[in-house]
Amino acid sequence: MAEQKPSSFVKIESLSPSFSTTTASSSSSPTTKLPLSNKIYPQITSRTRDYLADMGMGNPILKSCDTNGFISHLFGSFIEVHGVQRGSISCTVSVKPSISNVYGILHGGSVGCLTEMIAIACARTVVGEDKELFLAEISVSYLSGVPTNEEVVVDASVVKSGRNLTVVSLEFKLNKSGSLVYIAHATFYNIPSASL
């Protein structure tokens, strides 16, 4: 039998001026700090630091934002529900600067948050209140971008709901043109509250 070598991993400790990594192995050897290619690729290192700084890395979180449920309340404020039926929900999302990226387009992470919230609401139309819903999987196909100050119509429908799983499909379309911009799917575990 061949001897197995210990696996190793690289952990970025910080992106501060001491920009370094820690390399460790599963053996009991101490960790070694290595400079992260700052001398070899100074332009790449500098561009990476600048990009992350522009994205807000290291900025403090406002106290008003550092509360339980803040994200749900934030994204919920952009959703207007138009119709709810068993197994489906239709709503409009207003794209505002606070959920857009630096390019003036609805942020991809915002699409993910909206997908989860609307899919949960849709799943709730068929899953009883005696069961909790836990996100198992989410997928989003980004077909186009949605500019800030536009509206998106979201139609969600339950594809399948069983004893343990519920699958929801969502389509995001521009309100003005009806163009399809995102397709999403979310799968939830249905777990009885008593099992928790």
> 69-195 sits in which CATH class?
alpha beta
Q: What does the alpha-carbon distance between residue 1 and residue 44 come to, in Å, rounded to a whole number?
A: 43
Check residue 32 and give its pLDDT. Answer: 54
- The CA distances from residue 172 to 114, 118, 142, 146, in Å, are 10, 11, 10, 10
Render pLDDT for 52-61 as a digit per residue (tens, 0 to 9): 888 778 888 7
Render pLDDT for 122-152 as a digit per residue (tens, 0 to 9): 999 999 989 999 999 999 999 999 999 999 9
Check residue 1 and give its pLDDT. Answer: 47
Question: What tokens were used for 179?
Answer: 């163009």
Q: What residues contact 24, with CB distance under 8 A and at least 6 apart? A: 8, 9, 11, 31
pTM: 0.72
Q: In what order do the strands lie in the sheet with 32-35?
A: 8-14, 20-25, 32-35
* Spatial CA neighbour of 152 closest among 94, 65, 81: 94
Q: What is the mean pLDDT of residues 108-135?
A: 95
- Domain ranges in the chain with CATH number 3.10.129.10: 69-195
Check residue 174 and give its pLDDT. Answer: 97
Render pLDDT for 149-180 as a digit per residue (tens, 0 to 9): 999 999 999 999 999 999 999 999 999 999 99
